[in-house]
Structures are given as structure tokens and as C-alpha cells.
Amino acid sequence: MKCLGCSLANKIADVNVVYETELVCCILDHDPFNEGHVMILPKQHFEDVDDLDTETANAIIQAARLVSKAIKTLYKPDGMTICQNGGIFSEITHFHMHVVPRYKEQSFADFYLEQPLKNENIKNMLSVTRADLIRVINKIM
């Protein structure tokens, strides 16, 4: 597959899936801003938000609601940022939405810097984070 996002959403690439439906796949970000940082990708190829069909757009929002509830339950963040980068600002040329737990002592500007995040501990815990989120999502459902 030529599109990285399609490879991620359809599990051709190695990903940590926390939730999926026939239309979307929710995976842990490989370079998380905080523990519980999830990306929501449609399984069908769309580049930008205005390309999405209504059914897929609704599935993405419903997934964001569910994932947000699970993240809030597990990590008790001070808030959440749900964002999408399109056009030249999308690193994978495939629509994806980030669901990121946030804490008041952090600057979210770091999310957009080209410098590497200091997140090795979080990266090393991806399998634990995945299991925890799946457990909580299954309880919510």
C-alpha cells in the first residue's frame, strides 16, 4: 500500500489497535505526546476532513467520544485536545484525528515542534497502555 495512513488503518503496518469498527481504526500514536494518545483513522482513504463521507465522519466522532471517555477514566487528564492536521501539515497524507490527554503544566506547543519529544518511557509502555485502554473501552461499551 502506498499510503501510510491506509497501511496503519488497515493493520498492514504494525500498530497498537485499541478500538475499531468496519469504518475506523483507533491506534496508539507511535510517538505519543502523553500516555493514552490515540489516532483515529478511517479505513477508506480520505485525505482531508472535507473529503469524508457522512457515515465515516460520524464514525470518527463516535470513536473520538468513546476513546475520550476511556482516556479520562484511566488517566484523569486536566483536559483533552482533539485535533486534525490537513494538507501540507498532515505527515501521512491520510485523514487522521488525534485524541490527546492534556495536563495543565504542559505546553501543547511541543506537540507541533520538529524536536523529538521526551517520551521514551511512554513509548516503552505502549503494550500496557493498549491493554488498559481496551479493557476500559470494553467496560464502557
How do residues 74-132 score in pLDDT, each as one tens digit? 999 999 999 998 878 788 889 999 999 999 988 666 666 667 778 899 999 999 999 99
Per-domain residue ranges for the chain?
Answer: 4-140
**Dist. CA 10–CA 45, nearest whole Å:** 10
Residue 68 CA from chain centroid, whole number: 10
Predicted TM-score (pTM) above 0.75 = yes
Asked if 130 and 16 count as a contact pair (C-beta separation under 8 A), the reply is yes
Residue partners of 60: CB distance under 8 A and separation at least 6? 24, 40, 42, 52, 97
Residue 47 CA from chain centroid, whole number: 16
CATH number of 4-140: 3.30.428.10
